[in-house]
Amino acid sequence: MGRIQLKSVTKSFGDVQVIPPLDLTIEDGEFTVFVGPSGCGKSTLLRLIAGLEDMTSGTIDIDGSDATDVPPAKRGLAMVFQSYALYPHMTVRKNIAFPLRMAKLDQAEIDRRVEGAASVLNLADYLDRRPGQLSGGQRQRVAIGRAIVREPAAFLFDEPLSNLDAALRVGMRLEISELHERLETTMIYVTHDQVEAMTMADKIVVLQAGVIEQVGSPLELYRTPRNLFVAGFIGSPKMNFFEGEEAAKHNAHTIGIRPEHIAVSNTEGTWSGIVSVSEHLGSDTFFHVHETGLAETLTVRADGEVDFRHGDRIHLTPRSDVIHRFDAQGLRIG
């Protein structure tokens, strides 16, 4: 139903090419996340798929038919915007019913679908309110409701959670994941937050400057990042990178080790350094270690019970089986 295929798509604004030729296939029913730093072209890519921006060249197939010149309304896609883009002068009911009214469905069908969406999203009590009277999370749900009543081939989400507070974001993340399990519709989700990408995605597309750096499942990206950029972007806290002598021992230009793959001890280890900051999260503790002779700062994750303080000497042992090796071009070796 919702297979989307991009073939050598490019986009330029004036002389600036923001998306160099790009190929990507999104399978039916897949939850795909576009992730990358600000300005990497992920939102532009989503808007190209939606049809809100015109492609400079290339083609896009939706459900096996060419949709390159099809206007946004006819592509059968529904979008949830960052600002929610609710219609402020309409009640929640009218907001959700708007796409159905535009499609000229009969009133009984419209009512049935709106009631259905409202019960799925717990909005039944708010149908006669206006968007201005709702909280951020409720507005977000109305925007999703407006998308699901259309029964689209695919949903497009443009950083939908960035305007919510941290607690609500975790809640909405779960709700969107559950919605995907229930509807089994293709979803494309744009975010700059790698945690959202890791927790929600079936497939992550990492973008930088309009170029796809890697495509894969969250764990593939975590375990075998294709290059330095992906290695540094996926995973929190960030992977540690060393060059020089330590890297040469592993026959690589650069090696990377994740903070969670380093064991700490106060007596012995491969490396040692001085703790500058320790962050206690309760479940975990993060140490920022200086004077290791390897890099400016080394980040290490330890159990919540481990107690080192500022200025303490700490000994570190990396797990040798999970050291990532990169060549001079930053590409993965082995």
83 lies in the site for other proteins, by CB under 8 A = yes
**85 lines the binding site for other proteins (CB under 8 A):** yes
Q: Among the candidate windows 15-23, 55-63, 71-79, 243-251, which touches other proteins by CB under 8 A? A: 71-79
Among 12, 27, 52, 119, binds other proteins (CB under 8 A): 52
Residue 54 as a binder of other proteins (CB under 8 A): the answer is no
Q: Cα(34)–Cα(190) distance, rounded to whole angstroms?
A: 5
CA distances from 187 to 30, 84, 205, 241 (A): 6, 17, 13, 34
DSSP conformation class of 238: P
Residue 6: DSSP 8-state: E
C-alpha 50/C-alpha 72 separation (Å) is 6
Q: Residue 111 Cβ, how far from other proteins at the closest point, in Å? A: 18
Query: Going residue by residue from 235 to 254, which x/- string records binding to other proteins, judged by CB under 8 A?
Result: --------------------
Q: Strand 203-208 to strand 211-216: parallel, antiparallel, or no bridges (unpaired)?
A: antiparallel
Told to check if 98 binds other proteins by CB under 8 A, we report: yes
**Closer residue to other proteins, CB minimum distance, 122 or 133:** 133
- DSSP 3-state percent helix, strand, coil across the chain (nearest 5): 30, 30, 35
Binding pattern to other proteins, positions 121-150, x when CB under 8 A?
-------------------------x---x
How many other CB atoms are there within 10 angstroms of residue 230's CB atom? 23
Which residue in 17, 18, 29, 50 binds other proteins (CB under 8 A)?
50
Q: How is the beta sheet containing 154-158 ordered, strand by strand?
A: 77-80, 154-158, 186-191, 31-35, 203-208, 211-216
Contact range with other proteins by CB under 8 A, out of 15-23, 49-57, 257-265, 276-284: 49-57
Q: Does 263 bind other proteins (CB under 8 A)?
A: no
Q: Which is nearer to other proteins, 89 or 249 (CB)?
A: 89
- Least distance (Å) between residue 150 CB and other proteins: 8
- What distance lies between CA 26 and its chain's CA centroid? 15
* CB count in 10 Å sphere of residue 91: 17
77 touches other proteins by CB under 8 A: yes
Among 12, 13, 23, 89, binds other proteins (CB under 8 A): 89
Tell me the three state secondary structure of residue 228: helix
Q: Report residue 129 CA to chain centroid gap.
A: 32
- The answer to the question of residue 48 lying near other proteins (CB under 8 A) is no
Binding site for other proteins (CB under 8 A): 50-52, 71-74, 77-79, 81-83, 85-89, 98-99, 102-103, 146, 150
